[in-house]
Structures are given as structure tokens and as C-alpha cells.
């Protein structure tokens, strides 16, 4: 076989023409093209997926950022008046922020920030009054602010302690109701059910007890309730009848009871203090009562030891200068003091000294020399 024949059989390329391709080489080219297409499609899909992910991330960040800005600038808030009831207590001295936090925790408002903004816009941040308020859950912040008006407070249980002066009682009533002290003073001069022997003066007849008071009540209604309690007590113990039996008027008994209340270190001393008062009043010649409590009342002061300047007062309540009882009660006594005034202990005491005011220890004597020793003991403990 010659060289030409061998070239033909092997498919050798012509020197001048394009190379000849076999069937196998064309198949490989097709497979290569298909692989390249698949790779291009995969690359496009991967690129598209990456773009979608990036857009999603950016969108999510933007959404969260928008919500964050919205929550800061426009805090969450409910709409409407809400539903159901929840009692919210505002403690004495609580700030608007503290109240706002309580309202959010109780589900009354959607956010503390919304309430703070609403009460600030209403100009009431400093007007919150202690007490209990009936609120609704899911209220708008503005509606919650409106319901926290002192006039909407739930009835408060207010305990008037024994021995308070009327001026102090007025202050406590004013705090509990949000009404000015002057309104209670004015009401005390009106028709509030005082007995005739009170002579139109409330001091001594505002009975100490626990009362339910509300801003919706008028001062006259509240004071009338206190006088009613006094009248009920007076009737129960037959104040007028018992006073007559010991030769005193009901007003004198309440005056004595008010001094007993002010001067006694504890309840157990009351009947003995009452006996000292009666012994001084009945002594012949009569002794001055010489009670610091009456003197301080006339001066509008508080204290257990009068100064030399105090003793010079010309007040009708200065029992260091004037004989007999002061013109009227100096405190509002409780039932134990009234009972002591009606039933004093047996004894000859003419003096008593609360030698240890902190412990409420009072000592009694019928000897003036012993009295001065007791005064020295008081000075050591008090000084």
C-alpha cells in the first residue's frame, strides 16, 4: 500500500484544506456546548438568587428600621375607651413615668411612652393625685389621662386618729379628696348637724374614726358624717345624762376629754389624767390647770414643754394664767378619752409629768416637791 492509500485510510488532513472531523469529535463538541449552557444557566440563577437575598435583607433592615423609628417617634397606642375594669393605685409621690409604667404593665395603655406623651400634652404631669382609680384595659393614652382626674378616684378609706386638731383634720381631708382646706373651713361654719352644746364650733366634735371619702362628696357631707359619728357615740354612752350626774355640761366633758387625749402618754393613763384635772378644778381655792397642751393650742403651736415666752401669752387657752377650763376642746378626742372624762380614776394626784415622752411613761404625785423631781427627770430624758 502506498503512502496515499495510507493517508486515506487514516483520514489524514490535506496539506492545503481544513482538517477532517470524525463523528466522535462532533459529539464531544455538542456535549461541551450543553455543559457551557448549563453552567451559564446555573450562574444566572445563582446571581439572581443572590440579588433576591440582598434585596430581602435590605428590605428587612429597612422595615425593622422603619418600625424602630416609628416606635421612638410615634409610640404604640390603643384607640378608644377600652373595656373591662382594672383598679390602678397611684402611690403618694409617684411620678408620671412611674404611673405610665404601671399602666403599661396592667394592660391599660399600649406603651408607657404614649401615656407620658399624652399627659405631657394635657399639661397634667404634676397633677396626679394618690389614690385608687378604676380604669379600662386597652385604653388610648389620652382616655387614660382623662380618667386619672382626682374627681374619679375610688372611695378612699381615711382614718382620722384620736387627738388631732381640727386644722390637721382639714389638711388630711383635703389631701384625700383634692378639695381645698378653705372649703372644709367654710363647711364647718354651716349646718353639719352639730349638737347645741357645741355652740357652732366643730373642734372636739369631729369624731376620730375610719371614713370612706370621695372627691364626689362635698366637704359639708364629709364633715356631717363625722359629726353624725360623734352624735351616735354621745347617744350610746348617754353623754348628756352622765355629764349631768357629775355636775358638768356635755361641752365641758368633751373639753376635759380633749385635754386628757392630748396629755396622756398612753390609754392606761387617761383616767388618772382626768382625775388630776378634776382635783385641780375642785380644790379650794381652785388651782390653775397649768396644761402645756391648752397653752400650745392657743398659740397655734405644737410641743410638750412651754417656754417662758409662751407662758406670757394672754390667750384664753393659757391655763397657766387663767382659772378653770379653756373655752372649748383643744383636740378631737376618741371614745376612751371621753370615757375617762366621765369616769376618772380614784386618787388624790394634783400633778403628773410624762418623764419619758418616747416611751410614754407618765408619773403622778400629790406632792409639789415630788413634782419638781419629776420635772428634773423629764429634763434629763428630754434634754
How far apart CA 372 and CA 165 sit, in angstroms, is 30
Contact 348, 373 (CB under 8 A): no
Separation in Å, CA 150 to CA 80, 130, 177, 268? 21, 8, 7, 41
Question: Tens digits of per-residue pLDDT, 133-166?
Answer: 889 999 999 999 998 988 787 777 899 999 999 9
324 compared with 178, residue with greater pLDDT: 324
The closest alpha carbon to 156, from 131, 138, 173, belongs to 131
Is 82 exposed, middle or buried, given 0-12, 13-18 or 19+ CB atoms closer than 10 A?
buried
| Gap between the Cα atoms of 195 and 255, Å rounded | 14
pLDDT in the model for residue 34: 65
Of 266, 290, 282, 277, nearest in space to 375 by CA? 290
pLDDT in tens, 202-221: 999 999 999 988 877 899 99
350-367, pLDDT tens digit by residue? 999 999 988 889 999 999
Query: pLDDT tens digits for 165-186?
Result: 999 999 999 998 889 999 999 9
Query: Is the Cβ–Cβ distance between 80 and 94 less than 8 Å?
Result: no
How far is Cα 46 from Cα 40, in angstroms, rounded to an integer? 10
Task: List the one residue out of 236, 243, 263, 251 whose CA is nearest residue 337.
Answer: 263
Lowest mean pLDDT among 27-31, 211-215, 261-265: 27-31
Q: What ranges do the domains of the chain cover?
A: 83-152, 156-237, 239-382
Tell me what pLDDT residue 11 has: 46
| Residues facing 157 on adjacent strands | 212
As given in the structure block, the three cell numbers for residue 270 are 387617761
pLDDT at 22: 47
Q: How many residues does the chain have?
A: 383
| Statement: 83-152 belongs to CATH 3.30.1490.480 | yes
- Taking phi over 0 as left and psi of -120 to 50 as alpha, with beta for the rest, 303 belongs to left
Query: What is the C-alpha separation between 147 and 76, in angstroms, rounded?
Result: 19
Which residue from 231, 110, 213 is spatially nearest to 160, judged by alpha carbons?
213
Burial grade of 2 (CB within 10 A; 0-12, 13-18, 19 or more): exposed
Question: Phi and psi for 70 in degrees, rounded to 5?
Answer: -65, -40
The C-alpha cell at 321 is 394664767
pLDDT at 373: 95
**pLDDT given at position 68:** 57
SS3 354: strand
d(CA 316, CA 214) in angstroms, rounded, equals: 37
Residue 4 has pLDDT above 70, yes or no: no
**What local confidence, expressed as pLDDT, does residue 13 receive?**
44
Compute the CA torsion angle 162, 164, 169, 175 (nearest 10 deg). Answer: -90
Amino acid at each position: 500500500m502506498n503512502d496515499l492509500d495510507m493517508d486515506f485510510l487514516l483520514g489524514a488532513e490535506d496539506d492545503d484544506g481544513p482538517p477532517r472531523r470524525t463523528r466522535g469529535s462532533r459529539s464531544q463538541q455538542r456535549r461541551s456546548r450543553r455543559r457551557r449552557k448549563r453552567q451559564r444557566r446555573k450562574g444566572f440563577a445563582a446571581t439572581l438568587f443572590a440579588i433576591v437575598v440582598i434585596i430581602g435583607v435590605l428590605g428587612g433592615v429597612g422595615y425593622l428600621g422603619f418600625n424602630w423609628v416609628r416606635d421612638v417617634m410615634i409610640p404604640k397606642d390603643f384607640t378608644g375607651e377600652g373595656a373591662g375594669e382594672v383598679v390602678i393605685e397611684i402611690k403618694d409621690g409617684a411620678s408620671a413615668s412611674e404611673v405610665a409604667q404601671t399602666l403599661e404593665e396592667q394592660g391599660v395603655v399600649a406603651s408607657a411612652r404614649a401615656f407620658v406623651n399624652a399627659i405631657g400634652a394635657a399639661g397634667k404631669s404634676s397633677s396626679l393625685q394618690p389614690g385608687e382609680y378604676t380604669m379600662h384595659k386597652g385604653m388610648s393614652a389620652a382616655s387614660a389621662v382623662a380618667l386619672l382626674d382626682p374627681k374619679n378616684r375610688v372611695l378612699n378609706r381615711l382614718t382620722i386618729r384620736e387627738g388631732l386638731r381640727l386644722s390637721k383634720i382639714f389638711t388630711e381631708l383635703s389631701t384625700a379628696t383634692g378639695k381645698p382646706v378653705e372649703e372644709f373651713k367654710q363647711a364647718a361654719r354651716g349646718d353639719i348637724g352639730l349638737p347645741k352644746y357645741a355652740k357652732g364650733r366643730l373642734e372636739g366634735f369631729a369624731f376620730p374614726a375610719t371614713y370612706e371619702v370621695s372627691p364626689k362628696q362635698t366637704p359639708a357631707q364629709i364633715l356631717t358624717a363625722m359629726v353624725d359619728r360623734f352624735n351616735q357615740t354621745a347617744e350610746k354612752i348617754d353623754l348628756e345624762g352622765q355629764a349631768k350626774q357629775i355636775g358638768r355640761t356635755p361641752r365641758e366633758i368633751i373639753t376635759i376629754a380633749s385635754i386628757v387625749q392630748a396629755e396622756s402618754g398612753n390609754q392606761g393613763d387617761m383616767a388618772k389624767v382626768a382625775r388630776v384635772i378634776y382635783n385641780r378644778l375642785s380644790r379650794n381655792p381652785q388651782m390653775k390647770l397649768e396644761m402645756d397642751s391648752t397653752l400650745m393650742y392657743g398659740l397655734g403651736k405644737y410641743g410638750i414643754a412651754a417656754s417662758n415666752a409662751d407662758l406670757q401669752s394672754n390667750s384664753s387657752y393659757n391655763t397657766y394664767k387663767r382659772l378653770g377650763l379653756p373655752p372649748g376642746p383643744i383636740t378631737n378626742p376618741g371614745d376612751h378619752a371621753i370615757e375617762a372624762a366621765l369616769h376618772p380614776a380614784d386618787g388624790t394626784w394634783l400633778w403628773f409629768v410624762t418623764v419619758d415622752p418616747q416611751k410614754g411613761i407618765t408619773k403622778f404625785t400629790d406632792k409639789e416637791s415630788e413634782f419638781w423631781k419629776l420635772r428634773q427627770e423629764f429634763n434629763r430624758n428630754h434634754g
